[in-house]
Structure 1
Amino acid sequence: MSDQHQLQSSFKQWRLFFVFVCLYFTVWSILPTFLASSVPLDVSEGINWGSEWQWGYYKHPPFSSWILYSSYQLLGHIGPYILSQLCVLLTLFFIYQLGKKLWSPAIALLGSSLTLAVIYYTYPSLEFNHNVAQFPIWAGLYLAFYQSLTQNRLRDWVFLGVLGGIGMLIKYTVIFLLIPMALYFILPRQWPLLKQPKPWLAAFIMLAIFAPHLYWLINHDWLPLSYANGRAQDISEAASNVQRHFSWVNFIVAQLGAHIPLLIMLAFNRKKLLGINKYRQRLPDGASLLWYMYLSPLVVVVILSLVFGVGLRDMWGMPMWALSGLLAASFIASASQVFTIARLRKSLVTWLTLATVLSFIYIGLGDQIRHKASRMQWPEQKLTNQAIETWQTLSSCSLDSISGDRWLSALVAMNSDFPSLMISGPASHSPWMNAERLQKNGTLVIWQNDDHVLLPLLNKLTVLDSKVADVSNPIANDTDALIKQQGQWQIAWRDTNITKPLMVNWVAYVPIHCFRNVPP
């Protein structure tokens, strides 16, 4: 085969692959809306947090909730799925831009595409949350840090600062990457850079972007850090002292598990890959920096576990592996590059097709197969309709807030013109709520089974049972009182073979001036 004919064949194969990738991302952006009857937990929660436009929330910094709410307002239920896939696409773009600076465009294209062979970038990406929002941040930081050190342009340092600041506004775990980047300057050959203003400008931009959230943290008792500490203690209490210091073992196993599709592809092509010694000899300038950025965050989390006994969560690793595909592709021997790239590309198409089919069978038919609903198979709209109907039957005023179970209440809120969420727990978890607002507007509390609901703000208010709320009763003359009525809903599941309905307990606290005097 002539070189020209081989080049034309390769171009045609890449063109077909691009068509497949475009179709893949279109399907993953659109199809879940039609197959799922409800959004995942983190999506519903994030949308409702974002509707409050706070500089922080009791679990996390605010940025991903802002963009999640905005996407939902703009595009409805399809918005969060599109947003997730845009994050994955932007990640691939950054990795491609980085890859072609060290290797050939073909290796960069394949390497960025092989990122999708890491499981985190497929099914888990459907649930847009703070981990998914970090995907392009980590990839962009890899690119910005590399360019800042190798080219030392002002725009690269500014880009580094902006991405670092936004990353800290998304989730604090980006510090696992920022710490190794900062430590890199300890190397003597990097000392001259510290005498220049550009790195310090990047640090200043990063801090300036993070500063409003830092101010919010100071004024809200460091809520997300307290929450994270509580979660870590929960993990610690469930494990022995020795187990806490070795949680990194399970973490690494989980990360390797997420790489299984990529590892299988490499195993089938192992004879076409460079050995370690040859790879080291042919390593281009700057590639060692990529390996440092790739492995050093893992070292950080291992130290946190091994030395400090921090209980690691597997999902912290989601954004850490954007370089996996590119570094894997860099092992391809130049002598067999065209052939190996073609084989890996076909393997990737096979994997993505399989992941797509299995994921959407699970979303669309999983409850009917297992006769048990997952989060994306809950009767979201039926629950919302029931909540609105109940409130409107009891109250002539609009539903201002909904409280109790954070999953159920979030589903109702995002489908009913966004009444505020009053989250079960300390009042500080819902800083947009206060006793005066509750007294004026009331609230609807919903929960499942015997779940304990803690709403301390209600304890400050006068609450009357609906049985004594007749206008002829003098007790009802307290114009600041809330009228309490309660009951239980039985809501059918999407799968008709699930005979036991969803049981939801509810209590309505209706301001006396809004209360419709209906029979209990």
Structure 2
Amino acid sequence: MTPSFNQKSASHAKRQKDSLHNGNNSLDSNQSEQKQWRWFGLFLIAYFVIWSIAPTFFASSVPFDVSEGISWGSEWQLGYYKHPPFSSWVLYSFYQLFGHIGPYLLSQLYVLLTLFFIYQLGKKVWSHEVALLGSALTLAIVYYTYPSLEFNHNVAQFPIWAGLYLVFYQALTRNRLTDWLLLGVLGGLGMLTKYSVVFLLLPMAIYLLLPKQWPLLKQPQPWIAIFVMLAVFAPHLYWLVMHDWLPLGYANGRSHDVGEAASSVSRHFSWISFIIAQLVAHIPLLLILALNRKRLFGVSAYKHSLPAGASLLWYLWAAPIGVLVVLSLVFGVGLRDMWGMPMWALSGLLAASFVVPATQLLTATKLRKALAIWLTLATVLMVVYVGFGDKIRHKPSRMQWPEQALAGQAQDTWQSLSSCPLDSVSGDRWLGALVAINSGFPSQMISGPASHSPWMSIERLQKNGTLVMWEDGDDDILLPLLDEITVVGDHQDNNAASSDRLIKKQGQWQISWRDPKADTPLTVNWTAYVPSRCVQSPQ
């Protein structure tokens, strides 16, 4: 029986109504999703503001690597005995601009820049939704929370690695000269930040050597990128040649110090503990995914859903670990856990790519809630540990030292002995750096070979003297430049005023900890080498 005209019209009207209803539901869902993302964005703003500002109020001193980096950066060298110079320059600049808040602000800006690069990459490979979720989930990697407080060469690599992922992908897919130029610049800056970026650059080079990429190597763009990278790195390379490759010797020593009693055989298996440490850093992300596992692709379905370019990201995610395993297993390089800090910028994005599209709205909501809980917990733990950890454990961490009191004591002691300004501090690296960054930036003469402090010289010491400090019980201080200078004891009278001799004064400071229940005060021994022309007359 053929339906009547009226029946057809009614059926068509019903379909239109259902379609409009579904469209309205979809629109409402999108608006609700955007609103939720806006609220989550406000939460992240609050999170980053707290992590940028709170440590300044709760900590009584900056972390060790921060003080050391600031002190190095004030010398504006092309290299330092431990590391390349770029992150120290940036850190010193931020400290000069913003004071004690500068290092913490810089760390969080580096984390934000990392998330931005991952978001841009995710949009190109998957979608806006996956990119947004993936960049947020990056914060579920432990390295991007508490360890990021200490701006060091590992934290400084965060956006370098993320940026290299992005520009390498763009260079391969678009083959524009600008992308290759950016690849060269970022690669060069990475090498100026920390040499371990080679663990990413090497897999990239290997990928370009695959037969599929040979046509690309016949074009000038990749070679231009290599030239730019070398040009950016060239000044530091010159410094390395002129300073006997100091940082490489330091890095080699560090790799052999892993597990101080470790034998050469055990270093071949240091990759096992290294990978375990990286898995531990992923625990928050893995827990979040486990709680939402029913809404994730299975492995088989995931493989069939991969877009073009996703396999490259998986390669870039896994290959650096492969390089490190080979270095450890084959060459016996001892791996340090923190070398893995910058390697996981892709983890959150790759995790987000497992979300089944049909459940994306609901899953994103649940993942945001779980991530908010994790970040809130991490923030509370950070505030408690930094602000009250020493009073809970009755043992100070590096961020709970009496930095200002120490610097004030050093300045008062020097001014009581010398009419000349404090030109340099020496001895213990930690104490010296804390005094230096709080006392108008006198140079720091680092304990060890004279080559560790190329800005110091016998002539400079002879002219300006120095203040040497070390903790009570730590007498292992090596300052070879002082051994070559004539020093007069503080009770001797050798017509010092008419010579270039240094007058030696000694003493000890007792500085209270901020924890009133601390058993003993901080005891610091000091020796002042005062130029004879600057010696203060007795009052």
User: What is the TM-score with the length of structure 1 in the denominator?
Assistant: 0.98
Which residue of 2 is the match for residue 83 of structure 1? 106
Alpha-carbon distance in structure 2 between the residues aligned to 1:450 and 1:499: 16
What's the counterpart of residue 275 of structure 2?
252
Q: Any conservation in 2 of the 1:403–1:446 contact (CA below 8 Å)?
A: yes
Out of 444, 461, 469, the residue aligned to residue 438 of structure 1 is: 461
Letter of the 2:442 counterpart: P
1:224-243 superposed matches below 5 A? 224-235=247-258, 238-243=261-266
Moved >3 Å (runs of 4+): none
Write the distance in 1 (CA, Å) between the matches of 2:483 and 2:430: 23
Larger radius of gyration: 2
Contact 2:117 2:162 in 1 (8 A): yes
**Range 210-219 or range 231-240, more displaced:** 231-240
Is 1:386 the counterpart of 2:409? The answer is yes
2:379 is aligned with 1:359: no
Give the corresponding residue for 1:14.
37
Q: Counterpart amino acid of 2:529?
A: Y
Partner of 2:202: 179
Where does 1:17-416 land on structure 2 (aligned, <5 Å)? 17-235=40-258, 238-416=261-439
Which consecutive unaligned segments of at least 5 residues does structure 2 have? 1-21
1:394–1:518 contact (8 Å) kept in structure 2: no
Query: What secondary structure sits across from 2:412 in the alignment?
Result: helix
Gaps of 5+ in 1: none
The CA deviation at 1:499 is: 3.2
The CA deviation string for residues 157-212 of structure 1, in whole angstroms up to 9 with x for no partner, is 01100000000000000000000000001211100111111000000000000000
Contact 2:488 2:494 (8 Å CA) reproduced: no
- TM superposition shift of 1:475: 3.9
Is 1:460 the counterpart of 2:480? The answer is no
Q: Which amino acid aligns with 1:502?
A: L
* Distance in 2 separating the partners of 1:82 and 1:247: 34
SS in 1 for 2:527: strand
Give the aligned residue type for 1:459: D
Q: Is the 8 A contact 1:491 1:501 kept in 2?
A: yes
> How far apart in 1 are the matches of 2:209 and 2:236?
29
Letter in 1 for 2:496: A
Give me the whole-angstrom Cα distance separating, in 2, the residues matched to 1:517 and 1:406.
31
Residue 4 of structure 1, CA deviation = 1.6
Partner in structure 2 of residue 509 of structure 1: 529
Distance 1:518 1:298 in 2: 64
Maintained 8 Å contact 2:431/2:470: yes
Number of residues of Structure 1 aligned to a counterpart in Structure 2: 515
Q: Is the 8 A contact 1:58 1:223 kept in 2?
A: yes
Q: Aligned-residue CA RMSD in angstroms?
A: 1.0
Match of residue 498 from structure 1: 518
Return the alpha-carbon distance in structure 1 between the equivalents of residues 494 and 318 of structure 2: 72
1: CA distance, partners of 2:237 / 2:125: 38
CA distance in 2, matches of 1:387, 1:502: 14
The residue matched to 1:130 in structure 2 has which SS? coil
Tell me the distance in 1 between the aligned counterparts of 2:350 and 2:137: 10
Quote the Cα distance in structure 2 between the aligned partners of 1:89 and 1:231: 30
- Alpha-carbon distance in structure 2 between the residues aligned to 1:133 and 1:233: 24
Distance 2:285 2:380 in 1: 18
SS at match of 2:413: helix
Q: CA contact under 8 A between 1:96 and 1:108: conserved in structure 2?
A: yes
Q: Which residue of 1 aligns with 2:508?
A: 488
Mapped to 1, the partners of 2:367 and 2:358 lie a distance apart of 15
1:387-439 deviation line (CA, Å, top 9, x unaligned): 00000000000000000000001000000000000000000000000000000
1:97-129 Cα distance to aligned partner (Å, 9 max, x none) = 000112121110010010000000000000000
Q: Which amino acid aligns with 1:135?
A: F
Which whole-Å CA distance do the structure 1 matches of 2:345 and 2:295 have between them?
Answer: 23
C-alpha offsets along residues 284-342 of structure 1, whole Å, 9 cap, x if unaligned? 00000000000000000000000000000000000000000000000001121111111
Normalised to the residue count of structure 2, the TM-score between the two structures is 0.94
Q: Secondary structure at the match of 1:91?
A: helix
CA contact (8 A) 2:423 2:443 kept: yes
User: Does structure 2 conserve the Cα–Cα contact (< 8 Å) formed by 1:245 and 1:310?
Assistant: yes
1:478, distance to aligned residue in structure 2 (A) = 4.9
State the 1:480 CA deviation: 0.9
SS of alignment partner, residue 263 of structure 1: helix
Rounded to whole Å, the distance in 2 between the matches of 1:274 and 1:390 is: 67
SS at match of 1:386: helix
For the residues of structure 2 that align with 1:333 and 1:237, how far apart are their CA atoms?
47
Amino acid at match of 1:101: K
- Tell me whether 77-86 or 1-10 shows the greater mean CA deviation: 1-10
Identity percentage over the alignment? 70
Structure 1 position 477, deviation (Å) = 4.7
Q: Give the 3-state SS of the residue equivalent to 1:291 in structure 2.
A: helix
Letter of the 1:353 counterpart: T
8 Å CA contact 1:148–1:156 kept in 2: the answer is yes
CA contact (8 A) 1:91 1:136 kept: yes
